[in-house]
Structure 1
């Protein structure tokens, strides 16, 4: 079964249900399907065929959704990338994917045209973008009302996501109709979604989280409300006005919402089901969300573009920050961490001991290897297990805690220290807005624990922070930061992952002089 056909099933089931909303445009499933068929036929008229990669450099807008489904119906491969990428990065992805076409809009026009000026790639424009071979409006008129539907198999690739590249160049992650369908089903089950849910399309559609919201709403005849230009206020307004029932967001966005100065003005009583992923959430933020949003369901989802679900936790009130048990299609292990890639699935560590998290790749949600990167595939996939590169620990109750990346582990004076356990303590300080902890080189200790902090209150001092950590009964003395740096912002990827490498390399704006704490 292919995704385009499954979407048509939904359209036949409840044709008059609202499907897609953006500002004043409201499309039912029937209306949306008619639009999609025209776009699909138009793409075929331009020569886009089954198996072709179509790169999209767009914001989260209505046209990106209709193009997604049009591309599925003709058996091509939807290949979205971040519209904020540099010309060099866009060129790399377009060439790596061997793209048949690139779709862009005014915000990405300059960088795309610079990136592909020497490439023979079809250019499709949205929202009046210049320099195109064909506009979105012309695309609608190019073909017939119905596309020619090729035979599509469930193991055909339908989507290629490029990993966000927190280290090194991005890697293409090809995903099949089966893996995307299975991931959507798991998402529905794990978040306990029902027919006619509604959500907000704020997570990028070049990210696995955006894909989950898109597919789960379609399969349940739900409503997807697009927000091309993100702001916390825009999201709060949409949650209120559209009576949104469920969201799936990164912790950064939850932070923006619950700490927004006008939060109390909005009626969010319809919002019952919350999920987060993409990055760790501090205990302080978890508790604030529970207090202010009072969710019936609150899920921490831990996974990746390569294998959608690793684990889920739906008892965050009892275990804030916990990643829980393996997901619906999954099992996992924690093994001896080896950055050189020499550990095996049999090198398991006991409960309470940190190690690298690995997951069973026989899951129907998983990929089978990176695009054009046999080196990365060999390192990541061993004996039918996917080595995540994440550090974790399983407690005595069999629950998983994610501790950061293997490469993020701090080794200070021979002791292993994981950033998240230090961040969880500092985040509870009432004058701290955000915190990120990294290890910086030190001639005596090898590395020293260094806390980068965005202050909520400008009266915050290093001495105050150090006293707070000393007095905490949750932080051993050897884990206490030896250096504090007050900064304007914590560098993050587009989906909210902390870019610790930038902190290590000095890519931040310091507010005050950094100081080392007393030993």
Structure 2
């Protein structure tokens, strides 16, 4: 079974249901299918064939979704990348993927046009952008919508996502129709979605979370509301206007919505299902979600681009921050952490001891290796298990807690300290808006625990924070921050992951606090 066929099944079931919304533009399932067919025929007319990669450097647009389904119809490979990438990064992804076509828009035009001077794929322009070989509107008029559909196997590639590349070159993660179908079904089951749900298309379509929202809504004849440019106020308006029933977001976006001054003015009673992933959510924010949104379903999803689901937790009221148990298609282990890549799946750690989380790749959701990177594949996949680089600990009830990345671990005075454990304490302080913890080099201790705090109240002091750690938590003495840095914001990736390397490198804006008696 291929994805385009599954989409066409949905079109047949409910052709007149709303499938896609962007602003004032709305498409039913039949309208979306017709436009995707026109775009597919146009791609074929310009020489794009089965197996070819189509690179997209766009925001979440209505046209991007149309092109997704067009690419599936011709058996090509949808290859989206971050529209904020530099010229060099776009050029690298073009070369690495061997893309035959690139789709771009005003936000990515400069980088794409510079990157395609040597490698010259077909350039397809959106939103009136300059320099294209063909506009999206012209593409829709080319060819014949009754083009011959190729025979597509569920083992064929349909999608390639690029990892963020925070520690080196981005890695292409090719995924098959079977992988994507398995991930979508797991997402539907694990989040308890039903027919005709509606969701925000806010998470980027170059990210696995964005893909899950797109596919799960399509298979259930649901409504996807894409938002090219968003802020908390915009999202609150859309949540109310479109009566959104479920969301799948990173904690950063959830935090922005809940803390917006207009939050109480919006009716979000339709929103019953809340899922988050991509980064840890503090206990304080979890409690706030329960209090303000009162979700019927609240899921912590732990996973990756390579293997969509690792684990899920749907009892966050009982265990805030818990990653739960293995997902629908999955088996997990926690093994001895070894940055050199020599640990094996047999090297399991005892209950209660931190280690590296590894995942069985016999799962339908799991990739089988990186694109053009046998070195990375060999290090990541060993004896049928994917070594995630994430640190976790299994408790006595068999539940997983994620404690950070292997390379984020702070070693101070010979003791291992995981940033998330410290952040979870500090985030509950009433004068703290956001916090991130990292280790800074120190002659005496090796590394010193450092807290980077976005203050909610500018009267907060280091002494007050330290006293709070002592009196309001079970945090061991050696884990308490020895240094506090007040910052304007925490540096994050486009999908909300804290970029601790930027904190360690001093890539942040310090915030000067107001002190009594000081002008």
For the aligned pair, the TM-score class normalised by the smaller chain equals over 0.9
Cα distance in 2 for partners of 1:147, 1:404 equals: 49
Deviation, structure 1 residue 403: 0.5
Cα distance in 1 for partners of 2:147, 2:382 equals: 41
Cα distance in 2 for partners of 1:490, 1:39 equals: 41
Secondary structure of the residue that 2:333 maps to in structure 1? strand
Cα distance in 2 for partners of 1:397, 1:3 equals: 38
Cα distance in 1 for partners of 2:102, 2:140 equals: 16
Q: Residue deviations 1:403-432, cap 9 Å, x none?
A: 010000111111110000000000001111
Contact 1:74 1:147 in 2 (8 A): no
Cα distance in 2 for partners of 1:2, 1:430 equals: 51
Cα distance in 1 for partners of 2:12, 2:153 equals: 22
Secondary structure of the residue that 2:334 maps to in structure 1? strand
Unmatched tracts of structure 1, length 5 or more: 514-519
Per the alignment, residue 338 of structure 2 pairs with 338
Per the alignment, residue 370 of structure 2 pairs with 370
Per the alignment, residue 269 of structure 2 pairs with 269
Contact 2:45 2:143 in 1 (8 A): yes
Deviation, structure 1 residue 136: 0.2
Per the alignment, residue 448 of structure 2 pairs with 448
Per the alignment, residue 161 of structure 1 pairs with 161
Q: Give matches, 1:428-439, under 5 Å.
A: 428-439=428-439
Cα distance in 2 for partners of 1:281, 1:474 equals: 19
Per the alignment, residue 295 of structure 1 pairs with 295
Secondary structure of the residue that 1:54 maps to in structure 2? strand
Per the alignment, residue 417 of structure 1 pairs with 417
Cα distance in 2 for partners of 1:285, 1:388 equals: 26
Per the alignment, residue 212 of structure 1 pairs with 212
Q: Does 1:57 align with 2:37?
A: no
Q: Residue deviations 1:406-463, cap 9 Å, x none?
A: 0001111111100000000000011111111011111111111111111111112222
Secondary structure of the residue that 1:376 maps to in structure 2? helix
Q: Residue deviations 1:30-65, cap 9 Å, x none?
A: 111111100000000000000000000000010000
Q: Residue deviations 1:176-218, cap 9 Å, x none?
A: 0000000000000000000001001000000000000000000
Deviation, structure 1 residue 121: 1.2
Deviation, structure 1 residue 165: 1.7
Contact 1:485 1:512 in 2 (8 A): no
Q: Does 1:488 align with 2:488?
A: yes
Unmatched tracts of structure 2, length 5 or more: 514-519
Deviation, structure 1 residue 147: 3.1
Q: How many residues end up aligned between the 2 structures?
A: 513
Cα distance in 1 for partners of 2:120, 2:225 equals: 35
Q: Give matches, 1:340-359, under 5 Å.
A: 340-359=340-359
Cα distance in 1 for partners of 2:154, 2:132 equals: 33
Secondary structure of the residue that 2:496 maps to in structure 1? coil
Deviation, structure 1 residue 264: 0.4
Cα distance in 1 for partners of 2:204, 2:50 equals: 25
Deviation, structure 1 residue 511: 1.7
Cα distance in 2 for partners of 1:507, 1:147 equals: 52
Cα distance in 1 for partners of 2:120, 2:264 equals: 52
Per the alignment, residue 516 of structure 2 pairs with none
Secondary structure of the residue that 2:140 maps to in structure 1? helix
Contact 1:357 1:388 in 2 (8 A): yes
Tell me how large the CA RMSD over aligned residues is. Answer: 0.8
Per the alignment, residue 2 of structure 1 pairs with 2
Per the alignment, residue 517 of structure 2 pairs with none
Per the alignment, residue 171 of structure 1 pairs with 171
Deviation, structure 1 residue 242: 0.7
Q: Does 1:383 align with 2:377?
A: no
Per the alignment, residue 103 of structure 2 pairs with 103
Cα distance in 1 for partners of 2:356, 2:286 equals: 25
Per the alignment, residue 76 of structure 2 pairs with 76
Per the alignment, residue 517 of structure 1 pairs with none
Deviation, structure 1 residue 148: 2.1
Cα distance in 1 for partners of 2:98, 2:373 equals: 14
Cα distance in 1 for partners of 2:157, 2:327 equals: 23
Contact 1:420 1:437 in 2 (8 A): yes
Cα distance in 2 for partners of 1:87, 1:465 equals: 43
Deviation, structure 1 residue 122: 1.0
Cα distance in 1 for partners of 2:120, 2:240 equals: 46
Q: Give matches, 1:9-28, under 5 Å.
A: 9-28=9-28
Q: Does 1:426 align with 2:426?
A: yes
Deviation, structure 1 residue 164: 1.2
Secondary structure of the residue that 1:367 maps to in structure 2? coil
Deviation, structure 1 residue 145: 2.1
Per the alignment, residue 233 of structure 1 pairs with 233
Contact 2:425 2:473 in 1 (8 A): no
Per the alignment, residue 516 of structure 1 pairs with none
Secondary structure of the residue that 2:139 maps to in structure 1? helix
Q: Give matches, 1:277-288, under 5 Å.
A: 277-288=277-288
Secondary structure of the residue that 1:254 maps to in structure 2? helix
Contact 1:324 1:401 in 2 (8 A): yes
Q: Give matches, 1:13-52, under 5 Å.
A: 13-52=13-52
Per the alignment, residue 464 of structure 1 pairs with 464
Per the alignment, residue 120 of structure 1 pairs with 120
Q: Residue deviations 1:330-369, cap 9 Å, x none?
A: 0100000011111110000111100000010000100000
Contact 2:437 2:452 in 1 (8 A): yes
Contact 1:41 1:148 in 2 (8 A): no
Secondary structure of the residue that 1:279 maps to in structure 2? coil
Deviation, structure 1 residue 512: 3.9
Cα distance in 2 for partners of 1:389, 1:220 equals: 34
Cα distance in 2 for partners of 1:186, 1:495 equals: 21
Secondary structure of the residue that 2:141 maps to in structure 1? helix
